[in-house]
Structure 1
Amino acid sequence: MDQQSTVRDIEEKARQRRISIPDLCARAEIAASTFYRWKKSPTNPRPKGANFHLVERLYGALAAIDAEDAKRLSRGGKAVAA
């Protein structure tokens, strides 16, 4: 998966879990500006290369959200994610 595909994947997974990119980045202890520097856009035609360890932390934060939702559901609560 190339960098832009990874960025889109993280954005989609965050959207599915109803968490903003800045909130996801905060959970992963990454500055949101770092994530946005990885994303190619008209204002950022040459995105900075993503650091593998930081990408892992973002996916780890997504997994933690899933675990929290599973725990909440097992107790009869509602999931944060859709």
Structure 2
Amino acid sequence: MYIILVYDVDEKRVSKVNKFLKRYLLWRQNSVFEGEITDKLLENMISGVNKILKDQDSLIIYKFKVKSYIENIILGNDKGNTDNVI
């Protein structure tokens, strides 16, 4: 499946959440990740990030069965450069 993940967390945890999510997904922009992921890896990711989040934090995952349903239009600087992805 393909997911887009967005989060809003306290400044104290931003770095930790960002670093953790980079293990699973491609960082696209501040507080935004996306990528292909299996059901099992998604479960692992959710379990792990839940240990970091606090009550006032928010994380939303948009799930798509296939990536072909998504069309990106990027204006300005594309922070999610994929040149180093094999």
Compute the TM-score of the two structures, normalised by the length of structure 1.
Answer: 0.36
Report which of the two structures shows the higher radius of gyration computed on alpha carbons. 1
Higher relative contact order, chain-length normalized (CA < 8 Å, sep 6+)? 2
Q: TM-score, normalised by structure 2?
A: 0.35
Larger strand percent: 2
More helix by proportion, 1 or 2? Answer: 1
